[in-house]
Amino acid sequence: MFILGLTGGIGSGKSAASAFFRDAGITVVDADMVAREVVEPGEPAWSAIKERFGNDAINEDSTLNRAWLRQKVFSEPEERRWLEGQTHPRIRDRITEQLAAAKSPYAILESPLLFESGQCELVTSTLVVDVPEQLQVERASNRDDNDPEQIKRIIAAQLPRQERLQRADQVVDNSGSLDELYKQLSALHATYLAASSTTS
């Protein structure tokens, strides 16, 4: 099956792009969503996180204290590596299952860490949604009411923009309007449908 890997830095507009494909009837497996599933209360990764970080990492309702954990792992790279070691293999297994179950002409894996996590090995082709870094900071800060410095740290922890662009099979520029983004995606959708008919 033809599988497209969709990625982009924080605030680049991956969600807008994946919404376009979903509306076109394409199955989108969201790696972020899967990442949330594997750390739900009682899951093995949740238990490991609680054991390592204690109650600071857990909210009163037993869910992960994501804000605390994000702050912790982005300021301590060693802890980030440990956390990824707990979550990435479990995320990968679940993603593989969900992609295999897709019934649409092709499927999409939407992942902010497509290249960094090695999830690009699961896909046929890669599409990067790209905006200049300044716009990333602006959009991500406005969207979640996040501290711009925190956004910059997240950008620094992700693959450098230039490298992401070099590794992409296709790139769409999302520094304009939503209509302009959709126009680019519409042309690519036709290409992917054609590609999927030769790989199925």
Residue positions forming the annotated binding site for ATP: 11-16
Q: Which long-range contacts (CB under 8 A, 24 or more apart) does 48-51 make?
A: 48/86, 49/83, 49/86
Q: Residues annotated as binding site?
A: 11-16
Amino acid at 183: K
Buried residues in 40-69 as b, exposed as e (16+ CB within 10 A): eeeeebbebbbeebeeebbeeeeebbeeeb
Close Cβ partners of 64 (under 8 Å, ≥ 6 residues apart): 39, 46, 49, 57, 58
